[in-house]
Structure 1
């Protein structure tokens, strides 16, 4: 059955006009005349049967229908472009491997090792994107992901990479000249820097340190500034905003340089671990298979046993 779709040119003109809120600038981007873009938009509105733009005090604005349609069109064009670029990059068995990774883990642990992978597999082009939470592989253009948490991801295979020890760190000046705190309970006298996707991290560390009877909000969480990414928490700690509890391997550079110190030398093993995750349907793809083997080799060099789940 024939699809009910407008022309691709009309959609491109609409998407460009949405971004610029100007037919003139959209025309410049697409190397068309302003009247040509206007005709394409008018044809699209006629096809749909509803206006997508209106003018308010000489300004071009989207209608309610236009706003809803714009989000869908931009998503479709983005996905089509990504698929096209992936095919254009394809050469031999390799092609493009898209890795969805945790930003700080990626920049501090994975990226410094990628030169070795690139040298071994020059036919594979890497495309690194960030994702801080689990996602649906059917809706996100990614071949594999690096995930922290339990080994649970519907429809996917999880390969354990490594565990982690979390430690309390802060700027040296925050301790007022002392090399470290004398007692774990002293930490409660300081601002505790929080990580949005690890809301229980401080509770876990304090519990392991033997500190009980804490009061927090309704969810039992302690107060303190919250940051979405570890690199933000690290910078906040370096700036002296408070004490952060962080994976020790992610702050080795700051600890060695003296920008951060251990508030207490009391590492606590996290309950969860880092995993390489990929859809079961992609397990035998060449690019996924060789990256999996290479990454597990890197993790093993760090003394980590890798087990598929």
Structure 2
């Protein structure tokens, strides 16, 4: 099997990025958003959503089936003149990826099938320790201007020192009701790349509701995605939250502290706007809750 890290006939690498993530759920949205941003900056905005979703699925699989305590999971991206390549490496080589058909009651099992539909090619290769799962897209370089990720990251670190309150802005769509049809339509409009995540969370909520014989998980799902939509329908607010989620990994303690504070302010404001009762807030888990590291 070919080594996924080999450039081979792909040509010279034009852009590349490698990040090691801790094996926790919070790493998935961070990697997804970083991938979408970098792929767009590298001149392939049309592939940014698909690449981000594939990285999200591969990293989720690595967390579920390939993670070990105290071992990092690596996400690598690069582009050549003809190919966009993404890969996720984990420390468990004895558990190769295997697509399978998931039935209606399965909470997981569709990730690799989704990867195979989104990417032009995918595969995996063993490493000295662990394995790498990769996906490729045929992509011609557009020549669009881009900034090296190191410069972008430095710009983010500088901006955090002077940011003020989030400005008032007009929402992209009216606030939806906390119902499944309304939330689904809103997500499809303001954050279409997150629809697979929306349906995965919905499926988990139904599984939990059945296990617990309670409607509380369904209500919590509605609240969770009500908060997400409330943020995403305000583009500047969403941009600042996503920047905070990346800045929280900064080596600068001042940047981390400000990032956690801003993310918390944004999420709490969204809770207030959708009218979430105080006693329910602690029970709602969303990826926008950032913990200080």
**TM-score of the aligned structures, taking structure 2 as reference length:** 0.20
Report which of the two has the higher share of strand.
Answer: 1
Structure possessing the higher relative contact order (Cα contacts under 8 Å, 6 or more residues apart)? 1
Report which of the two has the higher share of helix.
Answer: 2
**TM-score of the aligned structures, taking structure 1 as reference length:** 0.19
In terms of Rg, which structure is larger? 1
